[in-house]
């Protein structure tokens, strides 16, 4: 598809050579500040904040944008401000990779003929491996496991009962995924208009690196465009939720009942204790420790321990808690001083 054809599909005005080829859609938030946009890819920009974070935007690639910013880009598809996000939804739907199935009932085997399964893998009765899925050497799939189309699982990985690996997701080698975990459910994204609620297509995937273990009942949502990712040797407890576009580094610990909202970054060697909540777009710095029952609303400092809601450095919170214990005594002293100043007996 070229620039002109895609603009027509989105009811947009094309700017630049009509035959400029379009090969896919990418997420500009996944780029570092000084990283150029990829050629022949579409990026969505609707505000100045994105342009400030990515000053190289517009030099390469194609931009879906509004008239306000159109003069900044060589290749662009221009839509009115009120229709920008709906055009973005239409763009994602065009590139969506979710599998399509023919109507009818399939009573055949649970292993698709076009799945690629290493001869040394063990697929136990009741497991389902769908079209184009790839299963590595010595990997074990327990009953009830579902591997959706074009997902990939590396060697020596064990996946316990009733776990789902979503379409196009990637699981590395020597991983353990305990029962009822779901990898690659849709991310939580919607756009509201008066009387309407539009679902944002989630066309990315999840990538899990080697030597990762996840407990039972965990959920990892696919990214809107790129990949939700979990780094090597990271260990995740039961019932942890990881939202869309999250990037978890290597050698991270995440304890049970914790939740990471969309676009959180957890750097290498960080530790998140049980029942913690991390706000969207927060960066948990390398080696940070988030103590149990904490709510993190701001970026942390490398190597520092935090706790509380909102979470603060632990040393600061200890002083605050010590002061709270003395609060009744301090209030009594304040009342005593007020009575002396005003000449009123207690």
For residue 229, CA distances in Å to 5, 24, 55, 104, 118 come to 33, 20, 26, 35, 25
pLDDT at 210: 98
Q: What is the pLDDT along the chain (346 residues), one digit of tens a residue?
A: 899 999 999 999 999 999 999 999 999 888 887 788 899 999 999 888 888 888 777 788 999 999 998 888 989 999 998 889 999 999 999 988 877 767 765 666 699 999 999 999 999 989 999 999 999 999 999 999 999 999 999 999 999 999 999 999 999 999 999 999 999 999 999 999 999 999 999 999 999 999 999 999 999 999 999 999 999 999 999 999 999 999 999 999 999 999 999 999 999 999 999 999 999 999 999 999 999 999 999 999 999 999 988 998 888 887 887 887 888 888 888 888 888 887 766 5
Could you tell me if 172 and 232 are in contact, meaning their C-beta atoms sit under 8 angstroms apart? Answer: yes
Among 275, 313, 281, 286, smallest CA distance to 297 is for 281
Question: Do 116-315 and 3-95 fall under one CATH topology?
Answer: no
Bond preceding residue 310 cis, omega within 30 of 0: yes
Does the active-site annotation cover 244?
yes
Report the SS3 class of residue 7.
Answer: helix
Model pLDDT, residue 48: 86
pLDDT at position 314 is: 80
Give the chain's mean pLDDT: 92
Per-residue pLDDT of 195-226, as tens digits, reads 999 999 999 999 999 999 999 999 999 999 99
User: 116-117 and 134-135: which strand pairing?
Assistant: parallel
Phi first, then psi: give them for residue 60, nearest 5 degrees: -140, 170
- 1.20.1560.10, 1.20.140.150, 3.40.50.20, 3.40.1390.10: CATH of 3-95: 3.40.1390.10
Q: Which is nearest to 62 in space by CA: 47, 41, 83?
A: 41
pLDDT at 34: 79
Domain ranges in the chain are 3-95, 116-315
Class of domain 116-315: mainly beta
**Candidates 94, 241, 244, 318; catalytic one:** 244
pLDDT for 108: 66
Provide Rg for the chain, Cα atoms.
25
What pTM did the predictor assign?
0.86
Total count of residues recorded for the chain? 346
| Cβ-based neighbours of 15, under 8 Å, separated by 6 or more | 70, 73, 74, 75, 76, 77, 78
- Which pair of structure tokens corresponds to residue 325? 């214990």
């Amino acid at each position: 598809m070229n620039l002109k054809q895609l603009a027509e599909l989105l009811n947009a005005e094309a700017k630049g050579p009509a035959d400029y080829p379009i090969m896919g859609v990418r997420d500009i938030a996944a780029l570092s500040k000084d990283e150029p946009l990829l050629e022949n890819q579409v990026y969505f920009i609707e505000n100045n904040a994105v342009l400030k974070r990515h000053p190289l935007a517009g030099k390469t690639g194609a931009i879906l944008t509004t008239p306000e910013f159109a003069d900044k880009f060589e290749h662009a598809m221009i839509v009115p401000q009120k229709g920008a996000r709906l055009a973005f939804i239409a763009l994602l739907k065009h590139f969506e990779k979710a599998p399509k199935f023919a109507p009818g009932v399939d009573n055949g085997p649970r292993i698709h003929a076009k799945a690629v399964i290493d001869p040394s893998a063990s697929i136990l009765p009741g497991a389902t491996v769908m079209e184009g899925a790839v299963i590595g050497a010595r990997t074990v799939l327990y009953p009830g496991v579902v591997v959706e189309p074009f997902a990939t699982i590396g060697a020596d990985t064990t996946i316990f009962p009733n776990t789902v690996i979503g379409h196009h997701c990637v699981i590395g080698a020597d991983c353990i995924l305990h029962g009822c975990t779901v990898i690659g459910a849709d991310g939580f994204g919607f756009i509201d208009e008066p009387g309407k609620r539009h679902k944002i297509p989630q066309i990315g995937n999840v990538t899990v690196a080697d030597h990762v273990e996840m407990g039972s009942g965990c959920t990892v949502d696919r990214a809107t465009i790129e990949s939700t990712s979990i780094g090597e040797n990271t260990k995740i407890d039961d019932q942890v939720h990881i939202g869309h576009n999250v990037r978890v580094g290597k050698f991270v610990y995440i304890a049970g009942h914790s939740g990471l909202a969309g676009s959180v970054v957890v750097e290498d060697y960080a530790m998140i204790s049980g029942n913690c909540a991390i706000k969207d777009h927060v960066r948990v710095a390398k080696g940070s420790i988030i103590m149990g029952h904490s709510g993190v609303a701001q970026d942390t400092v490398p190597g520092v321990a935090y706790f509380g809601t909102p979470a603060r450095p632990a040393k600061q919170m200890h002083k605050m808690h010590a002061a709270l214990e003395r609060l009744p005594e301090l209030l009594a002293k304040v009342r005593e001083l007020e009575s002396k100043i005003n000449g009123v007996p207690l």
